Amino acid sequence: MIGKRMLDEMNDQIKHETFSAYLYFAMAADFHAKGFDGMAEWMKVQAQEELGHALRFFHHIEERGGRIELQAIDKPQIEWESPLAAYEAALKHEEFITSRINDLVSVAREENDNAAGIMLQWFVSEQVEEEASVGKVLDMLKLIGESGHGLLMADRELGQRVAGPLTTGEEAAEAAA
């Protein structure tokens, strides 16, 4: 059974991951409103991944006999002054999530919760990838600067991103068993 301290932290993390989805949906809406349909698609895929992250915590709590306690989700910012500003905000948010995951890893260690420790390792690697993928877009946008043509090309390229299935981690664990 999951301990109280880890349970509280994971319930909290469900909120953070769901807020991440909300933030990226807000960016998608803002991009769409400004004609950046490719970036809007990219953000929708990103938001779906975040819902998958929330589900991973959800299922981990369920499997370990804990009680899910959903919390209120803040209203996200709804407008950014440029694609660059939005992706900068996305990177900042991912850095915050990385620090949250690191906190959870510390709690797992302190509470001797090996099950959570193993489950969280996936998130440690995932956050490295998340920061890298947002960072890559950011580098591209910095190179482009104010060029309308460049932004159009970037928008087309980013629109190629496709969503994978909404996985919770259980499928992968079952396939490996």
Which residues are near Fe ion by CB under 5 A?
17, 50, 53, 130
Query: Shortest Cβ distance from residue 99 to Fe ion (Å)?
Result: 12
Reported in sequence order, the residue ranges of the chain that DSSP labels E, i.e. its strands, are: none
- Which amino acid type is present at position 91? L
Taking the C-alpha atoms of residue 91 and residue 89, their distance in angstroms, rounded to an integer, is 5
The smaller minimum CB distance to Fe ion, of residues 4 and 139, is found at 139
Which is nearer to Fe ion, 129 or 171 (by Cβ)?
129
CB 155 within 8 A of CB 36: yes
Q: Label residue 3 exposed, middle or buried (CB < 10 Å: 0-12, 13-18, 19+).
A: middle
Using the minimum distance from each CB to Fe ion, give the nearer residue, 84 or 97.
97
- Nearest approach, Cβ of residue 53 and Fe ion (Å): 4
Q: Which is nearer to Fe ion, 87 or 151 (CB)?
A: 87
CB of 52 to Fe ion, least distance (A): 8
Distance CA 99, CA 57 (A): 16
Q: Which residues of 138-148 are buried (b: 16+ CB within 10 A; e: fewer)?
A: bebbeebeeee
Q: Residue of minimal CB distance from Fe ion?
A: 53
Neighbouring residues of 173: CB distance < 8 A, sequence distance ≥ 6? none
Nearer to Fe ion, 37 or 95 (CB): 95
Taking the complex as a whole, the smallest distance from the CB of residue 88 to Fe ion amounts, in Å, to 15
Minimal distance in Å, beta carbon 115 to Fe ion? 20
